[in-house]
Amino acid sequence: MRVQMLGLCRFSYVGLRGYQRDHASIEERRAFLYDPERLARRWLWFTTLALPGWLAQTDPDFTLVIMTGPDLPEPYLSHLRDLGAATPQLRLELVAPMDRHLEACRTAIAPHVEPAADVVGHFRHDDDDAVAVDYVASARRDFAAVRGLWQPERRLSLDHSRGLMLRAGAGGLQFTPRIAHNMGVALTIFLPPDQPQTALHFNHTRLPLWMPGVAVTRPLMFIRSIHADSDSGDMGPGIPWEIGEGDLDRQLARRFALRRDILEGLAGRLSGAAGGRSC
């Protein structure tokens, strides 16, 4: 069975809807998203926290579509083009502003769906979050173990729910270990390739309304960041678990290809930031 792993990362995409922060017009949204200081912060989060795990995936058979607008200011548009040219798994899609956000997301994803695949594992990824280096491999392996649950409805969510909440601010970094279900990061929605939906078509907080779901609570699989540019500063409900300081450093390196000193340096540089989350 061919399982395609296909994700979407929105990088400062100018469009209405799809965000917790509202704007009255596309022009107002553009002014907010393209603010030079905000874009500089978003790029630092993306390249420092999000990108290392994708570049280090143990299973390189995946596609992550980076969706932005054709008028994204330089040098960020050129940076994204260079990333796509250097990394086969990263595909840049330039989508003109659209009022209907889900239609825009489908426009970005549709050219990359493999019609010959048996199943497509759709996922979303915010540009300031991280997944473990074996997320793609784990999603494929775990789906194979529960494939029978997918067959009746041809819909299934697979939630790798053990993570770290990273709060960054003037006080530096704080990591809070949580098992948090359906956070949206490291969450895979398995659909047939002929279905028009993507991961973003399903509100991740209400997934049981539309499909059966399986939670995989080990191993550590995601980092969700909370900082001054976050749309929501709430880490949400979850179950705490414990990790020692020394083990935390080892897990950051082994699971995410990250170093805490680099993340602390980033937090220090951005501690005065203010604005709105992802996309």
For residue 83, the tally of other CB atoms under 10 A from its CB is 18
Contact 222, 160 (CB under 8 A): yes
How many domains, in total, are found in the chain? 1
pLDDT value, residue 275: 41
276 lies in some domain: no
Q: Residue 189's domain is classified under what CATH number? A: 3.90.550
Residues 163-216 have pLDDT tens digits of 999 998 777 889 999 999 999 999 999 999 999 999 999 999 899 999 999 999
* Phi, psi at 224, each rounded to 5°: -115, 125
pLDDT value, residue 267: 81
pLDDT value, residue 277: 42
Question: What six digits make up the tokens of 155?
Answer: 């819909």
Q: What is the mean pLDDT of residues 71-84?
A: 98
277 lies in some domain: no
Highest-pLDDT range among 3-7, 23-27, 275-279: 3-7
275 lies in some domain: no
Domain span at residue 243?
3-270
278 lies in some domain: no
142 lies in some domain: yes
Give, in degrees to the nearest 5, the angle at Cα 233 between 240 and 136: 60
Q: What is the mean pLDDT of residues 260-269?
A: 87
In the block, tokens 């003109």 appear at 96
* Phi, psi at 19, each rounded to 5°: -130, 155
pLDDT value, residue 272: 52
Residues 19-44 have pLDDT tens digits of 556 666 888 889 999 999 999 999 99
The candidate with the shortest Cα–Cα distance to 273, out of 175, 173, 170, is 170
Cβ neighbours for 210, distance < 8 A, ≥ 6 positions apart? 155, 202
279 lies in some domain: no
CA 272 vs CA 124, 170, 232, 275: distances in Å: 28, 7, 17, 10
Per-residue pLDDT band for 233 (boundaries 50, 70, 90) equals low
DSSP notation for 158-202: EEE-EEEEEEEETTEEEEEEEE-TT-STTEEEEE-TT----GGGS
pLDDT value, residue 114: 98
Residues 86-138 have pLDDT tens digits of 999 999 999 999 988 899 999 999 999 999 999 999 999 999 999 999 999 99
